[in-house]
Structure 1
Amino acid sequence: MKIATYNVNGISARLPVLLRWLQETAPDVACLQELKAPEEKFPLQAIQDAGYEAIWHGQKSWNGVAILSKIGKPEELRKGLPGNDEDDQSRYIEAKVNGVIIACLYLPNGNPAPGPKFDYKLRWMEHFTKHAATLLASKEPVVLTGDYNVIPTEVDAYKPERWVEDALFRPETRAAFQELLAQGWTDAIRYLHPTETIYTYFDYFRNAFARNAGLRIDHFLLSPDLKDRLKAAGVDRDTRGWEKSSDHAPVWIELTDK
């Protein structure tokens, strides 16, 4: 079972890139972030023509998440995080596909920090961590994936000293991410590639992609039973270099059958 995550940075503008990537890499499940489209503007017909069923949680101009599957329609479990009902931003969707619970998230950026946006980021992470604990307690196989907007360690940033005051790398953000991991989740990329330079995001400015000046902010966290089923994980880096591509590259994992 191949599961991928991809911040598309606007599904309408990037639809040709998304469809090409789906055709060339053929993930069984694809989690998308930053749709930047309201519910009614999701390109369902084009997705279905590509061989996928979909559920999504849209929002005009901003945010938005979706789960696509070519191995049966995702069984939607929830939109939004429990205990966070006042949040009107479309950042979380959860479904069951092929016996696995898959959570697709677009964690807040949080800049400028400190400030209200950073406070919102930390509150969101707190709600997410509480829900993650509940998912672990269910003893079901769970994948938490998406754009976390978190640089976990210095290894995950080109010239990390430049990011010290950024919301993605501030001590509070990294501590919150480590608190999440401490529940028992496995960072799939780092589990299989503990020291390799791997980036998933490259700014459009300063020729960042060509210089490999990136960040690793798109993550797969796996519940303990899936750790033993993890056989491969990587980044479709070349996709970032396609014309009119997102500033993120798709990330993927492969799981063996149960």
Structure 2
Amino acid sequence: MARKLLKVASYNVNGIRPRLPQLLQWLQTEAPDIACLQELKATDAAFPIDAIRAAGYGALWHGQPSWNGVAILARGDDPIESRRVLPGDPRDDHSRYLEAAAHGIMVGCLYLPNGNPQPGPKFDYKLRWFARLIAHARALVDCGHPVVLAGDYNVVPTDLDIYDPKSWRKDALLQPQSRACYEELLGQGWTDALRARHPGERIYTFWDYFRQHWPRNAGLRIDHLLLNPPLAARLRDAGVDRWVRGLEKASDHAPTWVTLAR
């Protein structure tokens, strides 16, 4: 019997080959219906599709050697690809965007550029990529179909979303331009699901490997699931699978998720 709720998750795996055991453990334990993965750091040929299928998931992926890479997994189903490149710059060869239909909804999986060091060309690229995302999202938000844009946005939206903003003020993730782009995206009508369900809570999705940030819960919220109005009306809950960050040799991100009425 089908579950009453649809669970959609986003998880920056920080290298799918070395962290495949952690990924499979999470899939088995939490069983998301749709999982958007980022930072595969693997070529298309190196994607572990056999293990993913053995876990009960169909998949689409767009890899790249050593860095970037995104994938969409669907439990008991095969995602139907609609796009694998963010429009707006035919010269951009980074594997950062993948879009597909799965379980009755449109899913955009994204890995937005980090942008450090800033100022500089990497930050300029981040802002150009963000502008392209905003332009594409404008066509999706009112398309009439339920849509989620899920991924690692590499943006800390507000000071509530970071343990201590003072030492991060110069980081690309907190720059006013980065935050303004995120606000412009929300202004189109997207709902930040995790913040909507936890409006005043300090809730994080990323803890880096330095200075004991994980044991101290010194985290950042940079992984977001944005829902367009038809899908936001179906939002029931949202959260973070923090236990995954505590696994041995874990990614520095934890999966974040939403549950939706079917």
TM-score (norm 2): 0.97
Residue 103 of structure 1 is matched in structure 2 by 108
Cα distance between partner residues in 2 of 1:157 and 1:10: 24
CA shift, 1:131, in A, is: 0.2
Instruction: Tell me which residue corresponds to 1:234.
Output: 239
Alignment partners' CA distance in 2, 1:197 and 1:244: 25
Matched, 1:12 2:12: no
Tell me the matched-pair count: 257
For residue 253 of structure 1, give the secondary structure of its aligned residue in structure 2: strand
CA contact (8 A) 1:32 1:104 kept: yes
Q: Who is 2:70 aligned against?
A: 65
Amino acid at match of 1:229: R
* Secondary structure of residue in 1 paired with 2:27: helix
Q: Name the residue aligned to 1:76.
A: 81
Alpha-carbon distance between aligned partners in 2 of 1:184 and 1:138, rounded to the nearest angstrom: 12
Give the Cα–Cα distance (whole angstroms) in 2 for the partners of residues 16 and 254 of structure 1.
Answer: 24
Structure 1 letter corresponding to 2:29: E
1:51 to 51, 56, 68: 56
Q: What secondary structure, in the 3-state scheme, does the structure 2 residue paired with 1:39 have? A: coil
| Equivalent residue letter for 2:36 | C
Q: How does 1:210-221 map to 2 (within 5 A)?
A: 210-221=215-226
**In structure 1, the residue corresponding to 2:101 is in which secondary structure?**
strand
The CA deviation at 1:165 is 1.1
SS of aligned partner of 2:25: helix
**For 1:130, which of 131, 135, 138 is the aligned residue?**
135
The CA deviation string for residues 208-255 of structure 1, in whole angstroms up to 9 with x for no partner, is: 111000000000100011111000100000110100110000001000
Kindly, what percent of the aligned residue pairs are identical? Answer: 61
Q: Which moved more, 1:133-142 or 1:112-121?
A: 133-142
Structure 1's unaligned 5+ residue stretches are none
Q: Which residue of 1 aligns with 2:212?
A: 207
In 2, the alpha carbon distance for the partners of 1:30 and 1:150 equals: 20
Q: TM-score, normalised by structure 1?
A: 0.98
1:159 aligns with 164
Tell whether the 8 Å contact from 1:22 to 1:50 is kept in structure 2 after alignment: yes
> Which residue matches 1:30?
35
Question: How far apart, in 2, do the equivalents of 1:162 and 1:79 lie?
Answer: 36
- Contact kept, 8 Å, 1:71 with 1:98, in 2: the verdict is no
Cα root mean square deviation, aligned? 0.7
- Measure, in 1, the Cα distance between the counterparts of 2:67 and 2:214: 24
8 Å CA contact 2:43–2:63 kept in 1: the answer is: yes
Partner Cα separation in structure 1 for residue 89 and residue 72 of structure 2: 21
| Residue number in structure 1 paired with 2:93 | 88
- Equivalent residue number for residue 261 of structure 2: 256
Deviation for aligned residue 1:137: 3.1
Matched, 1:42 2:47: yes
Q: Aligned to 2:8, what secondary structure does the other structure show?
A: strand
Task: Give the letter for the 2:137 counterpart.
Answer: A
Match of 2:151 in 1: 146
CA contact (8 A) 2:142 2:228 kept: no
- After TM superposition, which residue ranges in structure 1, 4 or more long, deviate above 2 angstroms? none
Report if aligned partners of 2:56, 2:76 keep a CA contact under 8 Å in 1.
no
1:93: how far off? Answer: 0.1
Q: Residue 6 of structure 1 aligns to which amino acid in structure 2?
A: Y
Q: 1:98 offset after TM fit, Å? A: 1.8
- Which residue identity is paired with 1:198? I
Q: 2 CA distance for matches of 1:195 and 1:71?
A: 36
When structure 1 is superposed on structure 2, of 180-189 and 136-145 the one drifting more is: 136-145
Amino acid of the structure 2 residue aligned with 1:219: H
Deviation at 1:71, TM superposition (A): 3.8
Could you tell me which residue of structure 1 aligns to residue 3 of structure 2? none
Unaligned runs of 5+ in 2: 1-5
* Counterpart in the other structure of 1:223: 228
